[in-house]
Amino acid sequence: MAFKIVSTSPTFGFYVQEPVDYLKAHGCELKLIPQGKKLSETELLECASESDAMIVAVEQITDRVIQAATNLKVIAKHGAGVDNIDMAAATGKGIVVTSAPGANSDAVADLTIGLFLALARQIPFADSSVKAGEWPRLIGTQFNKKTLGIIGVGQIGKRVARRAMGFDMEVLVYDVVEDREFAEKTGAKYLPLDEVLAKSDFISLHVPLTESTRHLIGARELGLMKQSAFLVNVARGGVVDEEALLEALNQKQIGGAAADVFSQEPPKGNPLLEIKNLIATPHMGMYTHEALIETGMICVRNIVDALEGRKPQFLNNPEVFD
């Protein structure tokens, strides 16, 4: 009997074919939810109840969804963070939860640097001005030889650091777990969070969304930053207190910010979208052709391994498999 796989991800199976072919080669039947369709909890319930495995993106996989899953054996995140999945419920029901950490690290690191450059040189404003028939004289900020602060030094944070060194930057980093070997090889300096915020000209966020990181950057933290500093969030929207960021930008407490992620996505009606010194992008950090192939292949290998009784490489609740 073929395994039934349903994907609610808006990107899996739509842009690259290799992961789809892998599933088919292993006897799996794949159902793709149409792009742009925002599923209700009831619709997610139906997807879970009819599947052996689910491929999910950022939609909330709640306890109610999981309890309705009579045949579900695997929930595979088409990405890295699993904060949208009720891990306790999945573990309690013996459902394997997998992810694809690191597969999109280069793509997100590239976007991080791109957003910094766009902020420093006011590229979006320059583009829209020229296209509107204007020819403004814009005075920007140089990126090279400045101080970059990186909050969260996992695979993405490390890649951002290495890119920054090509710009002759001083790199300050903060993480609850310190990788001293990385620091010695690259020259990055671990400092307390407050010092990283106070000393950096550019700051990027690369932490998962947990109870300890929710609103990690709030009014107090924004107040520690230089008035000329730029903040980039490519992690999760909830890591930043958006009301505090709105106030800081309105009051010109910081130089500007860029957000690829928001607390609610899409962020319709979010007052941050009205702020001129904020660049907004549509949670596109991982979306490159290369990253989608890598993420998709890790995702499907995890699924097939779990369904065929092998321990997946990227397992978030190993106690279930054990």
Residue range(s) defining the domain that contains residue 146: 105-280
Q: What is the structure's pLDDT at 296?
A: 97
pLDDT in tens, 240-254: 999 999 999 999 999
* 122-139 burial: b if 16+ Cβ within 10 Å, else e: bbbebeeeeeeeeeeeee
The size of the chain, in residues, is 322
Question: For residue 36, is pLDDT > 90?
Answer: no
- Residues 63 and 157 grouped into a single domain: no
**Among all residues, which ones are annotated catalytic?**
236, 265, 283
Q: What is the structure's pLDDT at 19?
A: 97
Strands (E) across 28-176 are located at 28-32, 53-56, 74-77, 96-98, 147-151, 170-174
Of 242, 296, 271, nearest in space to 104 by CA: 296
- Residues 40 and 114 grouped into a single domain: no
- Residues 66 and 175 grouped into a single domain: no
Structural contact between residues 283 and 258, judged by C-beta atoms closer than 8 angstroms: no
What band does 322 get if pLDDT is binned at 50, 70 and 90?
A: confident
Using a pLDDT cut of 90, give the percent of the chain over it.
92
The 8 Å CB, 24+ separation contacts for 283-289 are 283/58, 284/111, 284/260, 285/104, 285/107, 285/108, 285/111, 285/112, 285/234, 285/260, 285/261, 286/79, 286/103, 286/104, 286/107, 286/108, 287/11, 287/107, 288/104, 288/107, 288/110, 289/15, 289/16
- Rounded to 5 degrees, what are φ and ψ at 54? -120, 135
- Look over the chain and give the mean of its residue pLDDT values, rounded to a whole number: 96
Of 302, 288, 225, nearest in space to 257 by CA: 225
Q: What is the structure's pLDDT at 294?
A: 96
* 52-83 burial: b if 16+ Cβ within 10 Å, else e: bbbbbbbbebbeebbebbeebbbbbbbbbbbb
Q: Which CATH number does the domain housing residue 70 bear?
A: 3.40.50.720
Question: For residue 125, is pLDDT > 90?
Answer: yes
Among 247, 264, 280, the domain boundary falls at 280
How far is CA 146 from its chain centroid? 25
pLDDT in tens, 83-95: 899 999 999 999 9
pLDDT in tens, 277-295: 999 999 999 999 999 999 9
Question: For residue 108, is pLDDT > 90?
Answer: yes
Q: What is the structure's pLDDT at 38?
A: 87
Name the domain count of the chain. 2
Residue with tokens 């045949």: 71
Q: What is the structure's pLDDT at 306?
A: 96
- Residues 98 and 110 grouped into a single domain: no
- Residues 188 and 236 grouped into a single domain: yes
- Residues 212 and 274 grouped into a single domain: yes
Structural contact between residues 297 and 289, judged by C-beta atoms closer than 8 angstroms: no
- Residues 294 and 274 grouped into a single domain: no
The H-or-E segment that residue 257 falls in is strand 256-259
pLDDT in tens, 208-238: 999 999 999 999 999 999 999 999 999 999 9
- Residues 92 and 122 grouped into a single domain: no
Q: Up-side HSE of residue 117: CA atoms within 13 Å toward CB?
A: 10
Q: What is the structure's pLDDT at 1?
A: 59
- Residues 62 and 161 grouped into a single domain: no
Torsion sign, CA atoms 19, 25, 28, 34: positive
Q: How many CB atoms lie within 10 A of CB 195?
A: 15
pLDDT in tens, 147-192: 999 999 999 999 999 999 999 999 999 999 999 999 999 999 999 9
Question: For residue 15, is pLDDT > 90?
Answer: yes
Residue with tokens 């969070």: 193
- Residues 57 and 186 grouped into a single domain: no
Q: What is the structure's pLDDT at 120?
A: 98
Burial (CB count <10 Å: 0-12, 13-18, 19+), residue 31: middle
What average pLDDT does this structure show over 259-271?
A: 96
- Residues 217 and 300 grouped into a single domain: no
- Residues 94 and 12 grouped into a single domain: yes
Among 262, 280, 298, the domain boundary falls at 280
Of 89, 22, 97, nearest in space to 294 by CA: 22
Q: What is the structure's pLDDT at 290?
A: 96
d(CA 47, CA 80): 21
Amino acid at 48: A
